[in-house]
């Protein structure tokens, strides 16, 4: 999915982020390259209907996105139709079809399952609407025009590097015993996160620096259906009882904060020392956990910036202009390479949390 050039670039950016060079203002792309992008759409009225279909409320960032889209689209003069598909894929399919029927000029989709919306996004495209995949890539369709997200492969790279850094800080010399967790297999991002992390971790597994005691090193072995905490906790319980009766667990690759806290709960219940645990999304409870010295790291992907960038893309389309695109090579959805507008994620540990969240009205209060 990613080119070698992008992999090398992601690794370089990861190294910079781990030394604290990343800042919140880097989240807004400045590269406006548009080569290979979908052509600019016809201009449409400033008060046009914009549909936003979001997935289930599985994390804080999705809940926040709902209110940000409603307020941001209204402030920009659009009629926003922002909905959650808490009932599952079928509900999301119906929502998108309804947005098309109502005449939406742009349909923004945060997919529950990016491989099951092809019929609906084709209907949107056939109606003259522009389709933007938000946060999660839409798969197996040529009817998606743009993708806007944080660089998800880089997120994985940052998580892999953070895991190594955190374990080295606790125990300078390896080898280290680790376990791997991945997200839900129906989320297109989950494999990208995992691949990014494994680009860092697999060489260390191969040379013996890292040992996955359970032997479960593939994505399919590590997945957590539905991103559900109870599924991660159940698997962690099984791993601990089966593989760590005597061995020490030094680190856990967790793809997001919800699963990280589930693993922490499992480890505590087993009466074992907490390993270094990664995360993502900067959820309130995980930031508290990081400041308390439990969860080691998270990723700051400020939802405010991602929604704002999406609305900027909508505004450009309304004017008949091409929206910002920063990557025209990396995101192949199995039918086409989708032009992407990628924002930069930032690794956050206790050491840089105060700086990372300085402009966040909620999280800044937790780092004082």
For residues 262 and 7, which has the higher predicted lDDT (pLDDT)?
A: 262
Per-residue model confidence as pLDDT tens digits over 59-80: 788 999 999 999 999 999 999 9
164 in the same domain as 274: yes
Torsion of CA 155, 160, 164, 170, to 10 degrees: 60
CATH at 235? 3.40.50.2300
| pLDDT for residue 72 | 98
What is the predicted pLDDT for the residue at 60? Answer: 84
Q: How many domains does the chain have?
A: 2
Side-chain-side CA neighbours of residue 124 (13 Å):
33
Kindly state whether residues 127 and 194 are assigned to the same domain. Answer: no
Is residue 207 domain-resident?
yes
352 within some domain: no
Confidence check: pLDDT of 25 > 60: no
What is the pLDDT averaged over residues 223-245? 97
In a domain, 106, yes or no: yes
The whole-number average pLDDT for the span 12-31 is 35
| Span 312-334, average pLDDT | 96
Domain that holds residue 122: 4-10+19-151+302-343
One domain for residues 133 and 210? no
Residue 217 has pLDDT above 80, yes or no: yes
Report whether pLDDT(26) > 80.
Answer: no
| Distance, CA of 240 to CA of 63 (rounded, Å) | 33
pLDDT band of 24, cuts 50, 70, 90: very low
Q: Do 193 and 332 lie in a common domain?
A: no
CA-CA distances (angstroms) from residue 32 to 41, 45, 316?
17, 24, 12
Claim to verify: residue 218 and residue 270 sit in the same structural domain: yes
Average pLDDT, the chain: 90
- Residue 122's alpha-carbon distances to 41, 115, 196, 340, in angstroms, are 16, 13, 30, 19
Q: With a cut of 90, say whether residue 19 has pLDDT above it.
A: no
Is residue 363 assigned to a domain? no
Q: Give domain status of residue 67, yes or no.
A: yes
For residues 135-139, average pLDDT: 96
Question: Coil, strand or helix: which one is 110?
Answer: coil
* Rounded mean pLDDT, 299-304: 94
Q: How confident is the model at residue 40 (pLDDT cuts 50, 70, 90)?
A: low
Q: What is the DSSP string of 65-108?
A: HHHHHHHHHHHTT-EEEEEE-TT-HHHHHHHHHHHHHTT-SEEE
- Local confidence band at 41 (pLDDT 50, 70, 90 cut-offs): low
pLDDT tier for residue 30 given thresholds of 50, 70 and 90:
very low
CA distance 117 to 106: 16
pLDDT, position 87: 86
pLDDT of residue 2 exceeding 50 = no
35 pLDDT band, cuts 50/70/90, is very low
CA distance linking residue 89 with residue 162, whole number of Å = 34
Q: How far is it, in rounded angstroms, from Cα 188 to Cα 138?
A: 8
| pTM of the predicted model as reported, rounded to 2 decimal places | 0.81
Which residue in 328, 308, 295 sits closest to 287, CA to CA? 295
Decide if pLDDT at 33 tops 60.
Answer: no
**Residue at 349 is within a domain:** no
- What integer is the mean pLDDT of 130-156? 97
pLDDT digits (tens, 9 = 90+) for 259-276: 999 999 999 999 999 999
Say if residue 86 is in the same domain as residue 65: yes
């Amino acid at each position: 999915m990613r080119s070698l050039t992008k992999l090398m670039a992601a690794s370089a950016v990861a190294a910079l982020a781990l030394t604290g060079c990343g800042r919140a203002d880097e989240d807004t792309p400045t590269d406006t390259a548009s080569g290979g992008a979908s052509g600019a759409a016809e201009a449409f009225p400033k008060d046009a209907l914009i549909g936003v279909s979001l997935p289930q409320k599985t994390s804080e960032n999705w809940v926040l996105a709902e209110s940000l889209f409603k307020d941001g689209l209204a402030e920009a003069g659009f009629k926003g139709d922002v909905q959650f598909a808490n009932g599952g894929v079928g509900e999301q399919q119906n929502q998108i079809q309804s947005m098309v029927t109502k005449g939406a000029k742009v349909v923004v989709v945060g997919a529950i399952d990016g491989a099951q919306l092809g019929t609906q996004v084709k209907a949107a495209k056939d109606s003259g609407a522009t389709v933007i995949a938000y946060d999660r890539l839409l798969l197996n369709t040529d009817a998606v025009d743009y993708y806007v997200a944080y660089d998800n492969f880089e997120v994985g790279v940052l998580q892999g590097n953070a895991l190594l850094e955190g374990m080295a800080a606790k125990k300078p010399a390896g080898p280290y015993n680790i376990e791997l967790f991945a997200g839900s297999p129906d989320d297109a991002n989950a494999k990208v996160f995992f691949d990014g992390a494994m680009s860092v971790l697999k060489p260390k597994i191969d040379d013996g620096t890292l040992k996955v005691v359970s032997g479960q090193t593939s994505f399919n072995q590590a997945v957590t259906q539905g991103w559900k905490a109870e599924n991660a906790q159940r698997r962690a319980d099984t791993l601990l009882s089966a593989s760590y009766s005597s061995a020490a667990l030094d680190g856990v690759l967790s793809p997001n904060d919800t699963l990280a806290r589930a693993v922490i709960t499992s480890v505590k219940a087993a009466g074992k020392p907490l390993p270094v645990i990664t995360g993502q999304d900067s959820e309130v409870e995980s930031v508290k956990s990081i400041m308390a010295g439990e969860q080691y790291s998270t990723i700051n992907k400020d939802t405010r910036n991602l929604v704002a960038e999406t609305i900027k893309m909508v505004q450009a389309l309304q004017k008949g202009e091409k929206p910002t695109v920063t990557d025209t090579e990396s995101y192949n959805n199995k039918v086409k390479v989708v032009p992407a507008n990628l924002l930069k994620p930032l690794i956050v540990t206790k050491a840089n949390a105060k700086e990372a969240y300085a402009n966040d009205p909620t999280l800044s209060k937790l780092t004082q």
